[in-house]
Structure 1
């Protein structure tokens, strides 16, 4: 446990599972040359090693070795970022490199004193020998890069949005310590980002934080939270607000859903009035969904003859259509499955603001959603209540 705490403090916490990822900002507003792709990929390669790693990455390495590796990779991010920036003075994507310089501050560790392996808590800092002269020189140089980015008129808006988000994160961290950064301030910051970056997603992230914290999710008050945002100048916020309002609507009005299932069956919720229906958003690649499956099957087997139906909404990818069909057959899942192969862009999932799975909408006999979290024991409890069993 002590080792894990120290690794976390050093930014070296292990992952239970590890998937290929990227630290790059998604930039579509400017084209990327081959030189830019190569240069940014080099930066990304080193930056990735500073994030969470799979458990096997830590095997056979001491804390001292891991710390030295991290220090080396910090400098590698800096050097590759500076190289790309300096060699491409007219490429707008050079500002992406500057973002990495701002995000990754090298520790400039030049030596580690004996006893570091047994250090506890924040005491580990006492064992690090820092090259203060090199650090000061770099801080001065970094300030010029950051100032150049803030004054740049050719920086992609995606980079500007990320910079604004970094600035805001610093303010939030400092403000939440002394209580000066309130939820109202977060809302104001979100509105500002929404206006300045109408195609960005940073504003939506802030609104989602506020929504989760508000306790309004799944309640009638959710409508009041999202209605003003349905008029937002930001595309992502507006789309999400409209979807959340549809979720709110089906908690007071019948849910409308009609499609041809992957096996050819015609599905129409309107024809299932009088029955309790579970609309299950899931995917074959989703571990928690698979873990929930026995519970859904048990409910189906127990209550189907009494008026309970299940409709699956698969978020599987296009190339996994046959996998879905085979999986449903192997697991004895007789209910229909909606499949459009669009993964997280699944039409029905987007329509109802699904951002995580499993998501389970339970409808009463009138087609009204009574809960959007019908998982575990709650599923059977609600089914029995609705069926009056």
Structure 2
């Protein structure tokens, strides 16, 4: 544990970089495992027996601003998809459970795109875009992913909200751009549909 402590005398810029790295590293430490699903009175989410945490419509909070460059070098902003159900999947090419769930995500994404659903990945902890692109090609991922090697986008989720706590994590956003559900860990096809279908049915 002492290895994680920063030296006492550091300049401000280095401290900022170390803080961001440490926060991102915390996701790596819990990566591919079952993170804690803790919450707060602000979120009012319900922990489901299937591992999917949900929030009632009246209690949902806006998804943070998530934008940047994709793994293929294009610009993408999650806000541009307001009006659609957005499924965010945080993944890494190095993550075994991410590999295992990839076919499920590809299948459900293809089958729901005409129902107003947009899947978006957030690739993290891959040093090079080529690693992520190879993964996407091998697993026939049909949707774009933001390239977030340092985990900065994940830090934008408010603490105590349905925020990413391990890799993989999947977050469902309703048509109004609000966080509606979260699942920590890999998802089967059936469990993924349990996240997507209720939001498709919402009016």
Range class of TM-score, shorter chain: 0.5 to 0.7
For 2:126, the equivalent position in structure 1 comes to: 317
For 2:60, the equivalent position in structure 1 comes to: 251
1-structure distance, mates of 2:169, 2:80: 23
> TM-score, normalised on structure 1?
0.36
2:99 to 286, 290, 300: 290
For 2:196, the equivalent position in structure 1 comes to: 383
- Compute the RMSD of aligned alpha carbons: 3.2
**Greater per-residue helix proportion:** 1
- Note if 1:278 corresponds to 2:87: yes
Alpha-carbon offset, residue 222 of structure 1: 4.8
| Larger RCO (alpha carbons 8 Å, 6+ apart) | 2
CA 1:363/1:28 → structure 2, altered by over 3 Å: closer, same or farther? closer
- Note if 1:368 corresponds to 2:178: yes
Alpha-carbon offset, residue 381 of structure 1: 2.2
For 1:326, the equivalent position in structure 2 comes to: 134
1:351 to 156, 170, 187: 156
For the 8 Å contact 1:276–1:309, the answer to whether it is kept is yes
**Greater per-residue strand proportion:** 2
For the 8 Å contact 1:254–1:366, the answer to whether it is kept is no
Between the two proteins, the alignment pairs up a number of residues equal to: 157
CA 1:216/1:222 → structure 2, altered by over 3 Å: closer, same or farther? farther
Q: How does 1:194-343 map to 2 (within 5 A)?
A: 212=36, 216-217=38-39, 221-222=41-42, 251-318=60-127, 320-342=128-150
Structure 1: which 5+ residue stretches go unaligned? Answer: 1-22, 32-199, 202-211, 225-249
Larger radius of gyration: 1
2-structure distance, mates of 1:301, 1:339: 21
Alpha-carbon offset, residue 223 of structure 1: 5.2
Deviation per CA, 1:338-379: give whole Å up to 9, x if none: 11432xxx1112222533111111111111111111733232
Structure 2: which 5+ residue stretches go unaligned? Answer: 10-21, 24-35, 45-58, 158-162
